[in-house]
Every structure is written in C-alpha cells, then in structure tokens.
Chains A and B, each alone.
Chain A
Amino acid sequence: MSDIDPNHDDDGVAVQETSPKLKRPPLYKVVLLNDDFTPMDFVVEILTDHFNMNEDRATQVMLQVHTQGIGVCGIFTKDVAETKVHLVNEYSRENHHPLMCEFEEA
C-alpha cells in the first residue's frame, strides 16, 4: 500500500514543475590581508588611490588590517572586485611589497 505510483496520487491533475528561480548574483567584498613586511604608508596609499577613500578612512582600514589581520576595502560586483584585486596585487608587486588583496562573497 505504501508504494503508490507518484504519477497517480495527484487525482489526475497534471502538475508542472516550477522552473528554477533566478537568483541575483552575489556581490563580493575586496579585502586586504595583513603581513609583516608591507609598510603602513603603502597600504594607506593603495586605499586612497584604488578605493577612493580619504586619509582618515584609509588609516582606519589600514589599522584594521594591522590589528585584525584582514580589512574590507569595499563591496563590488564580481567583475569589478576581480579587476580591483588584480590591479592592487600588480601594483604591490611592482613596488616590491608582498601585500595580498583578495575578494570573497559578501
């Protein structure tokens, strides 16, 4: 009795599966990771130049990276976040600093 045909337990009503719901793509946050070699000034410079922060805000985020090991620079679409990360890492390497910038889902 238990195995009723699943096609027949709907009283002959045709059921249509709902199409999968469209999900809005997530936004991503760009973060800087702490290290013991990159000077604080350089981090502040990156934050003001690439993330359009004023000096105070930049210092705040820099200190957050310094004390908590990680600091959020901003939230963007994946495309933009990826590009920012790429540009920042490239710029750090050019200046011989090991600063790491990454992006993760917000």
Chain B
Amino acid sequence: MLSKELEVTLNQAFTNAHSKRHEFITVEHLLLALLDNETVKPILQACACDCSELRGELTQFIDETVSLIPEGLQRETQPTLGFQRVLQRAVFHVQASDKKEVTGANLFIALFSEQDSHAVYILSKYKISRLDVVNYLAHGITKVDQDSDEDNTDSHGSDNEGGSESTESSPLEKYATNLNEEARLGRIDPLIGREQEVAHYSGALSKTKKQPLVSRRIWCR
C-alpha cells in the first residue's frame, strides 16, 4: 500500500520524534521528514522553494511548541489526529484514482487540507500552494520557467542564497539576448575600421543617458 520510499520517510519521522522524546508526531514532523523524500524534492524545486530555510523554520517551530514525554516515563510517541487524517486522505485519494501505491507526494498534497495547521501556514509563507503542487504533478507546470530538469537541479545546487533572484531573472534570460555575454563568447563579429565612430559614441555615452546602438551593415568590397 505505502511505497518503499514513503515507509522510509515515515520511519525516519517516527525515530526522529521518538529519540527527542516528543510526545506526539505532528503534521509538522511529517512535513519536515517529507522534505527529504525523493518524490517531494522535485516538487519543491518546481515551486522554487528554498528548502534549507523552510527546514530551519519548521525545526524551530517544532522545538518551540512540542510537548515532551516527561523524564522517567516510558511512553510511545503517538501520531496526532491531524497526522492520521493526512495519511487517510492520501490513501483514499490513491484508491480513488486507481493507483496502487501511496507516495510521499500524495501525502504532501493531503497535508494542505489540514485546517489551521502551522505546517500549511509555513508552506504558504514560502508561497507554495496546493495548486502549485498538483499543477506540477499533473502537467509538469513549474513556477520557474526552466527548460529542462537538468537546468533545474543545477541552479538549485549552486545558488543557495540567491535562489529567488535567479528565478526572477530567468524570464529575462529566456526572452532576451545578453549581448555582452554574446560578445564575450566571440559570437558577435568584431568592429573593424570604425575608430572615428567608436570614439564618437563613447563620447556620446559619457555625456548622455541615451544608449547609441551600432547596428551592423555589411560593407564588403
């Protein structure tokens, strides 16, 4: 019923909560564990989410609000009603859509329906909505317009701090040509025999805000 990777994730959530003597395993614990789930990771990337920050905020929230099992008492860490509801919703959804296995992604979606949940609050704070997630899973529509999955993982790995900036500049990169970059790569033909014009333009550039453009006309002889 549950897929292998999901079982691993749930197990991880339980052992983590139990080792810290948390009285309950909550929806927030579940979300935290899901961040490491293989089926959830690509969703978060598609939503352009800064995982490390999200993880930090979740951990902080759990540490602040959790009730601990008092020292000296031997008690099991119990799942909260909310946790059980999320699981149940995911299972029902999978049954209704005629699939065999419940994946981490199913749980992630089911989590959004929890009322007044801090996990959902934190997710919306990072601008991740249920619609974003189901859009991605159903049609592969991402919030970042990046062409291939490779691009996605690359940019995610390299820019941990400037994540949001790169997603904002991506439409520019997509629809416009960076002429400086082109010139640097040698894809623009060099200007030959136009010393006078170049001097004139650089003079104009230093005085006004207007940007003259040298368009190429072919003079061949």
Contact = CB atoms under 8 A, between A and B. Distances in A.
Indicate whether A and B interact: yes
A95 to B, nearest CB: 18
Interface in B115-132: 115-118, 120-121, 124-125
A84 to B, nearest CB: 9
A77 B65 contact: yes
Contacts of A87: 78
A80 B26 contact: yes
A44 to B, nearest CB: 16
Which interface class (under 10, 10 to 19, 20 to 34, 35 or more) fits B?
20 to 34
B67 A78 contact: no
Given A25-B116, A26-B116, A52-B70, A79 B81 contact: yes
B108 interface: no
Nearest to B121: A25
Contact of A83 (B81, B116, B117, B120): B81
Interface in B42-62: none
Interface string A74-104: 0011111011001100000000000000000
A43 to B, nearest CB: 18
Interface in A54-82: 76-80, 82
Interface residues of A, number: 14
Interface string B82-121: 1100000000000000000000000000000011111011
Among A24, A25, A52, chain B packs the most CB atoms within 10 A around the CB of A25
B121 A78 contact: no
A52 B125 CA distance: 33
B14 interface: no
A78 B78 contact: no
B124 A79 contact: no
Interface string A23-36: 01110000000000
A4 interface: no
Contacts of A76: 65, 67
A22 interface: yes
B78 A83 contact: yes
B16 interface: no
What are the 8 tightest A-B residue pairs by CB atom distance, in nearest-first order? A79-B82, A83-B80, A25-B116, A78-B116, A79-B80, A83-B81, A82-B81, A25-B121
Interface of A: 22, 24-26, 52, 76-80, 82-83, 86-87
Given A22-B125, A80-B24, A83-B78, 10 more contacts: A25-B116, A26-B116, A77-B117, A77-B118, A78-B115, A79-B83, A79-B114, A79-B117, A80-B65, A83-B81
